[in-house]
Structure formats: structure tokens, C-alpha cells
Amino acid sequence: MKSLTFLGRQGVFIAIASAFALGLWPGAAGGPGGLHAQPAGGGPEIKIGGIFDLTGITSDVGKSYAQGVRDAVEWTNAHGGINGKRLKLVDADYGYKIPEAVALYKRLVNDEKVVLIAGWGTGDTEALREQAAKDKMPYVSASFSAHLTDPAKNPYNFFVAPSYSDELRAWLLWVKDDWKDKSRKPKVAALFGDNAYGRSPLAAGKDFAEKNGLEWVYDGVLPGTFQDATSQLLTMQKAGADYAYINVTTTGTSIILKDAAKLGLKTKFGSNPYGFSEALPGVAREAAEGVTGVMPHPPFGSNVPGMKRIQDFAKGAPHDALYVRGWASTAVFVEGLKRADKAGQLNGEGIKSALESLRGFDLGGIACSVTYTPTDHRPCTTTPIYQVKNGALVKLKDYDVPRKSEWLGM
């Protein structure tokens, strides 16, 4: 796996590929099927499960997120736990394979007796949503698929970011702002993985483009793993795309950008939140210059109040926005657990009700303020857009997408 992470305000990049390969980087341990449990102290404990990708096709971003969750749980226990009860995270790697995720879910629910699961990918989360509803198992995922936001269909699914669909709508609003040629509509394309995650926001994006004066001209489908995107890029060039949204993780995004640079394409590229972080300019180098991306969670070390505890815990170790994302997700489900426990309802229904009681829950800038209701699990609809400038990530603007009822679940 090739990965770089960004350290400090001046854009110094620290190579961590070798540490991952040797298993020395936090979160690199734990192969498929092997449960990892944080050491439990004395006294009562609350057990939660983790389904993480540490070795699969999204592990380039999955490791950092998983470590963020693990560290946030450790921080929680060092600061009072869940109303004095210790939080125990039992997690394992599923290698981004849906059958492995299903088997792991069953072990966590039936054998480990967890009260909540911190999940990962779109394909596996969507595959498990009916079972989670049947089991009344709160499932807080790193997938932001809009399908998960409708409690009428998926009552136990939550996440902590705008949906992938709202993020793409926000990026298309940026395209409208950026486009200066009033003689024609801007032409937009997408390059995405051939999986549930890659396809998740496309229908919403095409509908939004059509209704907002943009012309969608090309769908570039990419395999789960790939080393070259030249064919898709050449076809996209023939379609005349002025802008292209990339919906793969950082490693794939870097390949696309480098191939586009070799071809001399003038297309302006944007990226989804798992392809865009401090790591991207590290691996794509000059090919990343000018690229925009949706960033629902800020770069590590950003000057926001909620970052202090994360940096204090890190003690100088290099991290990225994906690590911050793990902290943000954990902070929300920890609050749900505290409220449910305080109410004497530390079970699936009680935790669900507790999460649905959150109104403008302030995360100190490491994510949007979160609101869930029994009829709408969209936590927020505001997406920050960043751009790579001189190798650093620079925030351009927050884009607010309307909370339309017809967009719930799509």
C-alpha cells in the first residue's frame, strides 16, 4: 500500500508506507477474522464492535479511520468513560469483503454481545442494514450513503457527515460558481469504482446536474483495483468533460490524476471524501495541484476547538483527516451511549432514541453540528470544499444543500 500523510502547517509530508507494510503503524495489526480488543480495566464495561478495512482495497484510508476510532475510545475511557463505565471496543479487519463483514457482524452481535457497531464501507453496511434493523443494533458507519439516512427503511443506521449525495450536490454547486463561460453549460463526468461505494451518489448527482444547468456527459467505470485509467480518461476527453468527480479512494485518485497529467488533460478534477485528504498531494505530487475535494472533516491540526484533544492525544504523531473522521464518529456515538445509559436504556432501542435526540450537537469543528430525528437521519447538509494549493489543503467555501424531503434516502 502506498500512503503519505501530511504534518504541520507548512506542508511537510511524512512517508508511512513502510510502517504500514511492516505493521509498525498504529492500526496495521489485526488480520481478517482476528478480533482485536482494547484491554479492559476493572469495573463495569460497555462493549461495542468495530468492522474495519485494514487490508482490503480501501485500507489506504481505512487504517487511519480505524485508528481514529480506537484512539477516541481510549481517550473516552481516560476521561470518565460512559458515565463511569469503561468502553470496550472489539474490532476486526474484514478486508473489504462483504461475506467477511456479515460473518464478523454475527460474531460481534451473537458472541460478543455488543450494544453498537462502528462500521466501515458502503457495500457491507448496506448489506447488513436489514439485519441491523431486525437485531435493533445501532450501526454508525464510515459510509455516508444517502440510502442509510431514511429511518423508515433503515432505522438503526447513522453516520457523521453530509451524505455522499449531498457532498456531490455541493461540489456541483462549486462547479457552477467556478464556470465562467456563459455561452454553454459546463460538461461534467464521473470516474468511479464498480461497487456500491463508487456508484452511491451518481443518480443524485445526475439529477441535480440536469436541474441546475450542468450537462452530465460521461460515466467512467473503474475496477476495484487498477493501475491505469488512461482508457477511461481518453473516452472522457472525447466527451468534452470540463469537470470530473472522482469516486475512489486516495490511491486510485492519485493514479487518475497522474494519468490525466500525462495526457495533458485540461479537465478540472474534484474528489469524494475518501480520495481527498492530506495524503493526496503527497502521493500525486504536482498532479494534485488545483484539485478540489469535499472534506466533511478538516485536516489534522486545523485550528478548530475540537482538534486540541486529538492533537494532545497524538503527542506529535502524524495523522490526517481520516483519523479525525474516526474521532468525530466516535464522539457522536459516545454521546448516544451516555444519554442511553443515563436514561437506563443501554440497549438498541434506547441508543437509537438517544442518538435521535441530538439537536445541533457541537463537535468543535471536527465535523458538522449533528442533528438526527426519528424521521431523518441526515446529520447535516453542509459540505466544506477544499482545494490543493502549493501542496497544501486550502478551504474554499462551505456549501449548504437544502434539506429537501424528496432527497431523504437518495
pLDDT band at 42 (very low <50, low <70, confident <90, very high): low
Same-domain pairing of 85 and 158: yes
pLDDT band at 40 (very low <50, low <70, confident <90, very high): low
The torsion angles phi and psi of 118, rounded to 5 degrees, stand at -95, 110
CA distance 306 to 76: 14
**Range name among 33-37, 224-228, 280-284 with the lowest pLDDT average:** 33-37
Same-domain pairing of 25 and 98: yes
Reference 170, options 300, 334, 42, 294; nearest CA is 294
Same-domain pairing of 258 and 325: no
Helix (H, G, I), strand (E, B) or coil at 201: coil
Fill in the DSSP letter of residue 73.
H
| Domains: count for the chain | 2
Residue 206 sits in a domain of what CATH number? 3.40.50.2300
Query: What average pLDDT score do residues 263-280 get?
Result: 98
Residue 52 inside a domain? The answer is yes
Task: Supply the range of the domain harboring residue 369.
Answer: 4-162+303-379
Same-domain pairing of 44 and 151: yes
Distances 129 to 122, 282, 333, 385, 386 between C-alpha atoms, Å: 10, 36, 17, 30, 32
pLDDT band at 39 (very low <50, low <70, confident <90, very high): low
Reference 255, options 226, 215, 218, 216; nearest CA is 226
Residue 198 inside a domain? The answer is yes
> Which pLDDT tens digit goes with each residue over 6-18?
333 333 333 333 3
pTM greater than 0.95: no
Query: Does the structure show a pLDDT above 90 at 28?
Result: no
Query: Does the structure show a pLDDT above 80 at 1?
Result: no
Q: What is the pLDDT of residue 186?
A: 98
Query: What average pLDDT score do residues 69-86 get?
Result: 98
Residue 388 inside a domain? The answer is no
Query: Does the structure show a pLDDT above 70 at 82?
Result: yes
Half-sphere exposure at residue 15, Cβ-oriented, CA atoms within 13 angstroms: 7
Same-domain pairing of 214 and 72: no
Mean pLDDT of the chain: 92
Q: What is the pLDDT of residue 202?
A: 98
> Which pLDDT tens digit goes with each residue over 145-202?
999 999 999 999 999 999 999 999 999 999 999 999 999 999 999 999 999 999 999 9
For residues 270 and 174, is the Cβ–Cβ distance under 8 A?
Answer: yes
Placement of cell 500500500 in the chain? 1
CA distance 11 to 285: 12
Q: What is the pLDDT of residue 251?
A: 97
Q: What is the pLDDT of residue 34?
A: 79
Query: What average pLDDT score do residues 256-268 get?
Result: 98
Residue 325: what residue type? Answer: R
Close Cβ partners of 175 (under 8 Å, ≥ 6 residues apart):
186, 188, 214, 243, 270
Query: What average pLDDT score do residues 334-362 get?
Result: 98
Q: What is the pLDDT of residue 37?
A: 85
For residues 251 and 239, is the Cβ–Cβ distance under 8 A?
Answer: no
Same-domain pairing of 157 and 8: yes
CA distance 337 to 344: 10
Q: What is the pLDDT of residue 100?
A: 98
Close Cβ partners of 395 (under 8 Å, ≥ 6 residues apart):
295, 298, 384, 385, 386
Q: What is the pLDDT of residue 41?
A: 66
Same-domain pairing of 333 and 221: no
Query: Does the structure show a pLDDT above 50 at 143?
Result: yes
Same-domain pairing of 95 and 123: yes
Query: Does the structure show a pLDDT above 80 at 95?
Result: yes
